[in-house]
Structure 1
Amino acid sequence: MKGSPEMADTLQTQTGNVSACEPQSLSGAEYIAGVLKQEGVKQIIGFPASELFDASAALDIPPLIARTQRVAVNIAEGYARATSGKELAVVTVQYGPGAESAFAGIAQAFNDRVPMLFLPTGYPRGSEAVSPNFESRRNFSHITKWCETATQVEDLPKLMHAAISRVRNGRPAPVLLELPVDLLADKLDSSPVRHLRPRRSIPQADDGEVAELVGRLLAAKNPIVFAGQGVLAAGASAELVQFAELLDIPVMTTPNGKSGFPEDHPLALGTAGRARPTTVDHFLEKADVVLALGTSLTRSYYILPLGEDKVIVQVTLDDADLGKDYPIAQGVVGDARSVLKQMIAHIADNQLSLAERPQVARTIAELRAGFIAKWMPLLTSDSEPISPYRVVWEIIQAVDPKTSIVTHDAGNPRDQFCPFYTASVPGSYLGWGKTTQLGSGLGFAIGAKLARPEATVVNLMGEAAFGMVAIDFETAVRCKLPVLTVLLRNDVLGGYARSMPIATRKYGANRMSGSYAPIAEALGGCGECVTQSGEVRPALLRGLERVAEGQAALIEVVTHEEPRLAGLW
């Protein structure tokens, strides 16, 4: 595949009147920027200093400079997830302290299974292993799926091709290529227009595996689908709906997979997180066979465990997932969309008789109605301080789920929001449920807005989370990425008193203080503080108006601490 004429013209301008099809003398940084241009990269995210910023800017790839390296990586994650990995998310940071500070973000992305290209610079060759210099290749190896250092500038063509190929193929995860600063200044005689863009391979199951999968599900009395993020990454939501309707089989999702199956569908159970709706508990308890589709089946405190009595069949891109945390009756390595299409075709080609289960949808509707009725007193509470569930309810009323992307932060905001928000459009909800670092939601929201500027992006977080990343609210302002942040303020670390009761009682270790709307104003955005229940929705609507006008907004709501969680109370 040859590069575009525009790329050749750009490189000619940069290097003189040399044909783009002939070897050209470019610096390492210029070569990498040229490859990113060939790959259609729309921006390079990070925090200076990195030689890649200028080299990319010369090719009209703008920088997005965050205030902190961790949030820069969170932004890249939000971007990658909002595009389902179809667009290359690229992050670069300075060697030493920059790479050190990015570690948490890469760890989060690794646990969230997010494909991104991480290009930290490195110490000059020869000094990288000298203590206390931080060598990315050595330190990031267990939170990336490929982690290498370029040692010769002539190796950049094959290393960049290998890195991008690994971003696009196999299990989604960050891919790291460390770039020593002296190597980035070295010259090489190679043209980025010769870069062959790696394509995504889409593995399928074989016919025997498909027949066995379908046979198990048809023979089951109460089968259930447990859909993960792989459904979103494969763009398989339509096929999952078709399959579920074909078999009258209910579908629940992982936290990361929320929105992969439309939650307003009659067969939708909701999300099987730590906090979850009644529909999930009811059908999971009855289930005899679980089809784990596009999920690693990772055990986590934040994901509802499957019972030991379940027969589990698993479809995943990564063979290392098979039997990792649960014993499985059958494991298939394949793309979620491909395998769904194969199963649908197998049923049609073999004219298999399907058991009709009309009572499934009826039971789901009854349970869903009862669940909402039980929680409605909290969702519509007029208490002061305000109930966080009232805030959740008002967000649901104010936001259009068809045109919005919502996310949350870790802790109570996630557990209070996820069971009640109906994600009806694929990719309209960025959930997360393995490692859950406080503050990640803000970067995810900014990245989602970067990927889909037409969408309204809303982020729900607590004051502890905002305190960790608040300064990056200015990144949303400066970069003209208007997101709405809804902040729950109750002046405590919600739920943490249980883990440190003595320290809380004697020293108030769970206490926090501060006002946050003024911070948003000081950083150039819109800030408003709400203290009365009846003012929550008008404030949200004003915030959404400001976002639509292009201004980042923060609505701070003074709430009380609320220990009651769906599925746990």
Structure 2
Amino acid sequence: MADGMHNLAGECLNTVAKRINGAEYIAGVLKEEGVKQIIGFPASELFDAAAALDIPPLIARTQRVAVNIAEGYARASAGGELAVVTVQYGPGAESAFAGIAQAFNDRVPLLFLPTGYPRGSEAVAPNFESRRNFSHITKWCEAVTRIEDLPKLMHAAISRVRNGRPAPVLLELPVDLLAESTIASPSDHLRPARSIPQADDHELARLVDALLGAASPVIWAGQGVLSAGASASLVELAELLEIPVMTTPNGKSGFPEDHALALGTAGRARPATVDHFLAKADLVLALGSSLTRSYYILPIPDDKVILQVTLDEADIGKDYAITQGVVGDVGSVIRQMIAFIRRNRLPLARRAQPASEIAAVRAAFMEKWMPLLTSDSNPISPYRVVWELMQVLDPKTSIVTHDAGNPRDQFCPFFVANTPGSYIGWGKTTQLGSGLGFAMGAKLARPEATVVNLMGESAFGMVGIDFETAIRCNLPVLTVVLRNNVLGGYAKSMPIATEKYGANRMSGNYAPIAEALGGFGVTVTEPALLGPALLQALDEVKAGRAALVEVVTHEEPRLAGLW
């Protein structure tokens, strides 16, 4: 009798152990992690498995834009939400490569889950194996080959998204494994916590001693300040020591640009305050920056003492000779520095307070550029577009981004980003068209915000049909397209081809495309009508409809800091 009952109990236990397939297990883990949507295109076994658990799919029109949306989502949520993107094996993974490269170069943490060819055929030419081909544009790149390893590898992947240097993490999922059954339960998944490394007392003492001993220090604030949520602490440190602050293009909005100590953004094009104070600085304190040399980022002169705080040890001394490098979470290290100074009652340096000098340099800079910003020229000056956007947007409730090339260089020096996360800048790799996906991702992360993307017609040509994604997925963003019928600035790099064959020419009308896709579209040819058109488009966005304002402009070669 007892043996019979024991066998019956064992059979019951086996029945209770519910078997699910690999796709269902992954979807369950994403549910445990609080994932709110899964982004991708065009097909993945994860879409149905996630939908069964009330995690909706967000299907873009292209794989690259799907990844851009995930990047915008990750950046607008400052890494607080897990951004997940999946694509089909083969051509789907191949087409996602550009988006992952963009996210890798601009240090964005996201979880990339491409499906893979059935096991045994992944290495057969010409099959594309993600695990091999993405290894140099992800910080961790693995494939699941046994269903028994799936729980361990999912935990490892999510741990790497949350910890260390921000970057895409890839886990390739063979389609036959996704269909294979397992008794693993998603409820057993342990959510990895984020580690926040700090500096030790010796490092702090050296850092603070060098900073207090400098005659004209400046702070160089990178994207790490935004990722760490350290803007308030950075303001406190700058005010405590009366140090001017400039940001990198990726770090723009990490320090409020309407603050008396704000210098603006040290991009390729930049305000005169950046050049003025960087030239006179004897020490540069780089906080949350990789200090990557780039054509799109102002270089630091060789005669400066550089101190660097970064989450990635590989950044230390990578492109610049560093006097001292500290590996740590920038928010923690800034707070440690403030506490160290106050705890030890260190005498603050007696140096000239820079606020009045900053204001004077900024006023002279703006006076020089106001004729372009308020120009009544026809075709319209792109700087007039920048100025009108500054008048109609509330920077405290908006998120703005731009595309590569002239839109970035004309917009970044002038737009005042005074709220953390109100600006998505990018300055290492510069793929045309990325701004549209960034804007949609930002709207996904912060639906209450007014999200605006400024782009040229070349960029729109790359991704314009994905404007329909914003409509279909209820992501009402405002896209402003600058149309001058040329590849802006490219004639000088191909003068013969331009003169003989018009190689820099392009044509098109873009507002009708927005209308045809179901959104709001308007073309502006008169400067006086630009402000009203933007307000009308913003009303459409507030009503829940994606909008596009096409502005006919002239080509403008003059750039701040380069003219």
- Select which of 544, 549, 554 maps to 1:550: 544
| Residue 457 of structure 2 corresponds to residue 460 of structure 1 | no
CA distance in 1, matches of 2:505, 2:422: 34
- Select which of 223, 226, 229 maps to 2:223: 229
The answer as to whether partners of 1:25 and 1:189 remain within 8 angstroms in 2 is yes
What fraction of aligned residue pairs are identical, expressed as a percent?
79
The corresponding residue for 1:444 is 438
2:349 is paired with a residue whose SS is coil
The corresponding residue for 1:395 is 389
- Select which of 316, 320, 331 maps to 1:322: 316
The answer as to whether partners of 1:22 and 1:191 remain within 8 angstroms in 2 is no
1:127-174 CA-to-partner distances (Å, cap 9, x unmatched) read 000000000000000000000000011111000000000000000000
CA offset at residue 22 of structure 1? Answer: 6.5
Amino acid at match of 1:550: G
The corresponding residue for 2:167 is 173
| Residue 246 of structure 2 corresponds to residue 252 of structure 1 | yes
The corresponding residue for 1:119 is 113
CA distance in 2, matches of 1:557, 1:466: 13
Amino acid at match of 1:126: G
The answer as to whether partners of 2:403 and 2:455 remain within 8 angstroms in 1 is yes
| Pairing 1:364-443 to 2, within 5 Å after superposition | 364-443=358-437
| Residue 323 of structure 2 corresponds to residue 342 of structure 1 | no
The corresponding residue for 2:3 is none
Distance 1:319 1:23, change over 3 A: farther
1:225-265 CA-to-partner distances (Å, cap 9, x unmatched) read 00000000000000000000000000000000000000000
The corresponding residue for 2:354 is 360
CA offset at residue 357 of structure 1? Answer: 4.1
CA distance in 2, matches of 1:79, 1:379: 31
The corresponding residue for 2:464 is 470
2:263 is paired with a residue whose SS is strand
CA distance in 2, matches of 1:293, 1:310: 15
The answer as to whether partners of 1:276 and 1:566 remain within 8 angstroms in 2 is yes
Distance 1:25 1:240, change over 3 A: same
CA offset at residue 100 of structure 1? Answer: 0.3
| Residue 144 of structure 2 corresponds to residue 150 of structure 1 | yes
The corresponding residue for 1:92 is 86
CA distance in 2, matches of 1:284, 1:461: 30
The answer as to whether partners of 1:230 and 1:293 remain within 8 angstroms in 2 is yes
CA offset at residue 93 of structure 1? Answer: 0.2
CA distance in 2, matches of 1:248, 1:536: 40
Distance 1:99 1:20, change over 3 A: farther
CA distance in 2, matches of 1:458, 1:197: 34
The corresponding residue for 2:508 is 514
Amino acid at match of 2:438: F
The answer as to whether partners of 1:247 and 1:356 remain within 8 angstroms in 2 is no
The corresponding residue for 2:192 is 198
The corresponding residue for 2:7 is none
CA distance in 1, matches of 2:128, 2:502: 38
2:460 is paired with a residue whose SS is helix
1:441 is paired with a residue whose SS is helix
The answer as to whether partners of 2:215 and 2:351 remain within 8 angstroms in 1 is no
The corresponding residue for 2:260 is 266
CA distance in 1, matches of 2:74, 2:115: 21
Amino acid at match of 2:217: P
The answer as to whether partners of 1:20 and 1:193 remain within 8 angstroms in 2 is no
CA offset at residue 355 of structure 1? Answer: 2.1
The answer as to whether partners of 2:221 and 2:246 remain within 8 angstroms in 1 is yes
1:325 is paired with a residue whose SS is coil
| Residue 323 of structure 2 corresponds to residue 332 of structure 1 | no
CA distance in 2, matches of 1:102, 1:170: 24
CA distance in 2, matches of 1:209, 1:280: 28
The answer as to whether partners of 1:154 and 1:188 remain within 8 angstroms in 2 is yes
CA offset at residue 21 of structure 1? Answer: 13
Distance 1:19 1:67, change over 3 A: farther
1:92-122 CA-to-partner distances (Å, cap 9, x unmatched) read 0000000000000000000010000000000
- Select which of 26, 43, 46 maps to 2:40: 46
| Residue 279 of structure 2 corresponds to residue 285 of structure 1 | yes
| Residue 71 of structure 2 corresponds to residue 77 of structure 1 | yes
Amino acid at match of 1:278: A
Amino acid at match of 1:248: E
The corresponding residue for 2:556 is 562
Amino acid at match of 1:72: A
Distance 1:148 1:431, change over 3 A: same
CA distance in 1, matches of 2:455, 2:184: 48
CA offset at residue 548 of structure 1? Answer: 0.2
| Residue 524 of structure 2 corresponds to residue 530 of structure 1 | yes
1:300-326 CA-to-partner distances (Å, cap 9, x unmatched) read 000000000011010000000000000
Distance 1:191 1:447, change over 3 A: same
The corresponding residue for 2:9 is none
Number of residue equivalences? 552
| Pairing 1:303-314 to 2, within 5 Å after superposition | 303-314=297-308
CA offset at residue 359 of structure 1? Answer: 3.3
| Residue 130 of structure 2 corresponds to residue 136 of structure 1 | yes
1:124 is paired with a residue whose SS is coil
CA offset at residue 470 of structure 1? Answer: 0.4
Q: TM-score, normalised by structure 2?
A: 0.97
CA distance in 2, matches of 1:265, 1:219: 24
CA offset at residue 67 of structure 1? Answer: 0.2
1:8-55 CA-to-partner distances (Å, cap 9, x unmatched) read xxxxxxxxxx99996431100000000000000000000121000000
The answer as to whether partners of 1:20 and 1:191 remain within 8 angstroms in 2 is no
Q: TM-score, normalised by structure 1?
A: 0.96
Distance 1:556 1:322, change over 3 A: same
1:45 is paired with a residue whose SS is strand
Amino acid at match of 1:123: Y
The answer for unaligned runs of 5 or more in structure 1 is 1-17
CA distance in 2, matches of 1:22, 1:164: 28
RMSD of aligned residue pairs (Cα, Å): 1.1
The answer as to whether partners of 1:163 and 1:175 remain within 8 angstroms in 2 is yes
The answer as to whether partners of 1:70 and 1:102 remain within 8 angstroms in 2 is yes
The corresponding residue for 1:7 is none
The corresponding residue for 1:492 is 486
CA offset at residue 514 of structure 1? Answer: 0.4
CA distance in 1, matches of 2:511, 2:469: 16
CA offset at residue 356 of structure 1? Answer: 4.4
Distance 1:379 1:19, change over 3 A: farther
The answer as to whether partners of 1:21 and 1:191 remain within 8 angstroms in 2 is no
- Select which of 463, 487, 505 maps to 2:499: 505
The answer as to whether partners of 2:110 and 2:161 remain within 8 angstroms in 1 is yes
Amino acid at match of 1:426: P
The answer as to whether partners of 2:213 and 2:349 remain within 8 angstroms in 1 is no
